[in-house]
Structure formats: structure tokens, C-alpha cells
Structure 1
Amino acid sequence: YRTKGEMVITCRAAIAWTTNAPLTIEKVEVDPPKAGEVRIKVNINETFSKHELPFPAIWGHEGAGTVESIGEGVTIIIFFVFSLGDKVLMFPLPECRECSSCLHPKSNFCLKESILPPTGLMLDGTSRFTCRGRKIYHLYGTSTFTEYTVVHEIAVGKIDDDAPMDTVCILSCEVPTGFGAVFNIAKVRMFTPGSTCVVFGLGGIGSAVVMACKASGASRIIGVDIKEEKFPRARTLGVTDCLNPQKLKKPVQEVVVEMTGKGADFAFEAIGLIDTMVATLESCHPSYGVGVIIGLAPTNSQLIFDPMLLLSGRTLKGGALGSESCIPKMVTDYLQKKINLDPLITHTLPFESINKAFELLLHNTQTFIIFNLCSQKY
């Protein structure tokens, strides 16, 4: 059963009107989905982004919800025919399965993305949100800081009806980004068990990287962070050695090289700072070490390093999300207790506390903070 939404919905949304200002909860009008789009009742979402974005905008690039209405021509959501009321996850990186990136076996960065740079608009160049008579921009084609949103069908994935949305919502970006960096980009599995890995940043994505490194059979996982409060949880996830760069007498990359002999087999940057990106590359074994940048650097940043670092055989790569088509399988794996997401969620807050959540993320040691947009229990 599929249908097309006809009515404009009025609901609450958190709007960013300008830079360096709190978000405000406003009433917004959400247009019906156009051809190839889906309108979703958002139940759970999470935060956040460091990109330079257009204003005013509804942020939020990860979330879980239920299908409210379906635009013309929509047939599948990530390989699944779906109906009204189906549970779905929304993805900031779409998967059209038609462009040269989607069709290439080594790529997943769909050319229909709206991340580099963020346009703030849907694929047809328009917005579906209005507030105070003004058009409101989208974020990465998702905009989950709202009770209802409109997403293109290539950026939505149907998930198991039994999935608890207040947990599996973190599979909409951060967790598959970490797992994808390990298994799809660095390809840790291609090497014999017993590899050494170093992870810069032990927040949400870094924690997911640690979990994936452990699952890959890595024998040594070095976690790097300046907030030692994160170390106990990191050790429970698989970190064997913890380093605080602020307490070392030499650069952390030099310490990593000394600890591993010649450098780590794999190094992952999950912070988004130029200095840690360079440290990631310098931590790698000179002949075959692989460094992967996952952290999102501030807009207009420039990465500068000695090119001789690559001449001996090191590899520096980047990656985002992983693969959308694998995410429903990850949900099933969670339900079957093959992966445990529960330790990654540190807080669940009401939607009205969204600004408090940003403060917690920026100034404390939180991994994932979930916003509950409804009181219904899932």
C-alpha cells in the first residue's frame, strides 16, 4: 500500500537562524513529498555537523522515523518495497545506485550527495520547509531536527519492525562510518589477524572504529584522546592502550611508532583536526601502513604534510558512512546481538533540551546524544 501525501503538515522543528546562536523551537510547515520523495515522522534523531551551512536551516543529519506519506514514482527504499508506517533510517549520504560512484566497486560517495558543499536544498533545488513566511534550508537532504521531514527515496532505508529506534538511530551515519572505515576503506580483514591499529578520537565515530577493529581481529588498538574520562569506556570496547597527547613528552605519533616498532598497520582520524590528520599519517608503518581520515575538518581547511611520507608506501585515504545498503543488515545484527550499540549512547534527552545536548557534546565526553521527539514507546 503506497500513497501520496496531499496536505502541508505543521509541526515543531529546531531552527538555526544564524551562526553562534542557540537553536529555537519553532512551528514550521512541511510540504508534501514530491516525485521520488518520502515524508517521514521523525521519532529519534542525533547531532551534529561542523560544516559551514546556509541559514536559516533545520539541522540534524541522522534519524529514525516512520513513513508518513510517499511521493509519486517511489518504488523502493534501499532494496526494500515499503509501506506507510514502516520504520526507516535517514542517511546524509544517498545511494542512487545509478551514478559512476555508486556503480564502482570501490566507491560509495554518491554524486547526488549534498555534503561537499552542502546546498541546503532537495535534489530539485527547492526546500520543503517554511517558517515565519521564510523558506528554511535542509541539511544534507535529511534535516532530522523536526517532527516531520521530507527525504529523497535514495536517502532512506527500511529497517526491521522490531528495531528499537532509540538505539538503532545511531546506525544512520556514525556507526556505519566507523565500521566502513575499517572494513571497506582500510580493509583490515584483508590482513592476517593480529594487526595494530591506532584511533585518534574516542567519541562516537572513534568508538565505532574501535569496535570494528576488535571485530576484525586486531591484537593491539591504541586509543588517542585528550579527555581521559573516555578511556574506561574505550577499554571496554577494545582499546588496549590509551594515550593523552597533552601528557606526552614527544609528539603522539612518535610515541605510537615506538610502541609498535615501525608504526601501526592502520591509523584512523575521527576528530576533524589538521594536526591529528598529519599525526595519523605519521603513525603508519612507512612501507604498508594505511591512514584513514574520517573526521570532518572545518570549512576551507588545508592539509599540509611532507610528501616523502608517502614515497615509501604509506597510504592516506578518506571515507564517509560506509555503505547504505549494508545498514539494514547492521540493524538485524544488533537485534541478533552480533553487535552491541548500547554502550555508545550516553544520554537521551527531550527535543526541548536540544541546546543542552550541544553543550554536552562540545564540553564533555559524550559519545552519542539521542533526542526523543515523541513519548510513544518503541
Structure 2
Amino acid sequence: MTTGKVISCRAAVAWGPGQPLIMEEVQVDPPQKMEVRIKILFTSICHTDLSAWLGENETQRVYPRILGHEAAGIVESVGEGVMDMKEGDHVVPIFNGECGECVYCKSEKTNLCEKYRVNPFKSVMVNDGRTRFSTNKDGKKKPIFHFLNTSTFSEYTVLDSACVVKIDSNAPLKNMTLLSCGVSTGIGAAWYTANVQADSSVAIFGLGPVGLAVAEGARARGASKIIGVDINSQKFVKGQAMGITDFFNPKDLDKPVHKKILEMTGSGVDFSFEYVGNLDVLREAFLSTHDVCIS
């Protein structure tokens, strides 16, 4: 039994901006009040992890640190006060946690929790302002900092219970890592941020996991035309399964992308999503929409 004890395990530790991640033996403390310790079975990597590893924003440089925020695992133990989860539950961590009690959580306009919202500057636990990770260097205990409420590049991690969601035990954990970020981000963008309407037209620039999730969300909302744009033509096959009705590769065009979309739709799409992270592509996505709201 490991409940209540410090667990020694392996984790990929970032020691500095752009430095290679080092597999280290780390100590993971037991969960405190309203915290959960999870055994991570699967974890994915996201561009956000890459940005933090590179230290692109100097104000977010906190090292040593355990990155990672897309994962799935099993509850190893829970701290005092945790009632909705127990040892053995299948869960996914979420970087945008919800306490359910603050003015933000109770608002219908936002889910950016006052205490547990996504915060790249947060590197310690809420309870005591300390970390639950450490390692021994030169005979001294050295703290290792948290990342995005999650830190999933470790065999075990500790999270605030507000940042853990219980899932169906029959769901394949290997696939559930996408729920932590990519799928929820994409579907949420279509359902909540853009509020895609039935019979509307949609353009999606970049058919990675998030872009494909947007397609699924738009299809579920009843969009009649969902245009996929990607420089990898093989994405069309996967895109069709997710709801893409039309597809083209910008490299195959002899005109700007937005002009092609204007020709296809007559006046531009109702909703446009850009998931490449490129200013030129963002401009094309913007120009592909109506110049006034006519939906």
C-alpha cells in the first residue's frame, strides 16, 4: 500500500529552457486536503508543452519543472475531503479546473475558475504554496515545480481535485488523453465559443487533433458545409470521418485560399477556425468569412 506514503518514481524533468528533458527519480508526496494522486498510464504531448519547455515567455520560466497536461490514469489515493473520487477510479487531468463554488464557476458566461483556471504562471499547489515533487541532488532535497495544474510527464502526479475528472472505466485510457486538451478545446470552440448554428458553413485551417475536433463539434451542431484546409492531403480521409464535407490543399491552388472559399460559398463562411498558429494563415481564415454577420 502506498496510501499516505511518499512514492519514488521516474519523471521527465525540464531543468532549463530548451535543455533536454532528463529522466529522473523523483519523490511524489501524498495528496493533501482536496488533492488527488494519480498513476499516469498514458500521456500525450502538446505544443503548449513545447512552448513551456523552450521558455518562450521569460516570465513563465520556472525550473526544474515537470511538464505535460494531456493524460489518463488511475487514482492511487485521495486527500482529506475528496468525496467524488476514490482509489482505482479512471480519470483524466484537466488544466482548467473548476471549484464549482466561485462567482466564475456559477456564471453562464465563463468557466475560468477563480482558483483553478489555466494559469501558466502557477507552479505550486493551492493548499500551501509548495510542490509535491522533489528530487535528491548532492544529498539535498530539491523541489520540482508543477505545470498547468497537471504535470503528467511523471509516473505519478498530484493534482487539486478540481483538476481531475472521473471517466467511464470502460473507456480506453490510451485514447482518453485527447480529452484533456485537444478534443475538449476543439469541440468547445465549435459549441461554446463560436456557437456554430445548424445549416451554417464552416472553414477549418489545420486538421490536427484540435482542428478535427472542431469538425466533429460543427457536425454535431448541424453545420451543412465544413471545409477543411491543410497542406497534407491525406488529412481529408480522416477529416471526412469527423465531418469534413469539402477539402483542399493550399499548395494545389493558383489563388489565395480565401478567394477559393469565397468561390465555393458565394460570400464566405459563417465561421472560420485557425489551428496552425501562423499569422498568414490567420489572415486567410479571417478573409474567408463574411464581412458582416448574416447568419
Q: TM-score, normalised by structure 1?
A: 0.69
Shift of 1:240: 2.2
Is 1:207 the equivalent of 2:215? no
Distance 1:229 1:70 in 2: 44
CA contact (8 A) 1:14 1:25 kept: yes
Matches within 5 A, 1:124-143: 124=127, 125-131=129-135, 132=137, 133-143=141-151
The counterpart of 1:165, out of the listed 152, 162, 173, is: 173
Matches within 5 A, 1:13-92: 13-48=11-46, 49=48, 50-51=51-52, 52=55, 53=60, 54-75=62-83, 81-92=84-95
Using a 3 Å threshold, how does the CA distance of structure 1 residues 245 and 111 change in structure 2: closer, same or farther?
Answer: farther
Is 1:277 the equivalent of 2:266? no
Partner of 1:364: none
The counterpart of 2:97, out of the listed 83, 94, 99, is: 94
CA contact (8 A) 1:65 1:87 kept: yes
Shift of 1:281: 2.6
Segments of structure 2 that go 5 or more residues without pairing to the other structure are none
Is 1:154 the equivalent of 2:162? yes
CA contact (8 A) 2:78 2:85 kept: no
Segments of structure 1 that go 5 or more residues without pairing to the other structure are 76-80, 291-378
Moved more, 110-119 or 28-37: 110-119
Distance 2:160 2:30 in 1: 12
Moved more, 210-219 or 90-99: 210-219
Shift of 1:116: 4.2
Shift of 1:199: 0.6
Moved more, 271-280 or 209-218: 271-280
The counterpart of 1:250, out of the listed 252, 255, 263, is: 255
Partner of 2:112: 109
| SS of structure 1 residue aligned to 2:105 | helix
Partner of 1:12: 10
Distance 2:231 2:275 in 1: 13
Using a 3 Å threshold, how does the CA distance of structure 1 residues 275 and 101 change in structure 2: closer, same or farther?
Answer: farther
Moved more, 200-209 or 11-20: 11-20
**Residue identity opposite 1:204 in structure 2:** P
Matched residue pairs, number? 280
| SS of structure 2 residue aligned to 1:66 | strand
| SS of structure 1 residue aligned to 2:98 | coil
**Residue identity opposite 1:146 in structure 2:** S
Q: TM-score, normalised by structure 2?
A: 0.87
Shift of 1:140: 0.4
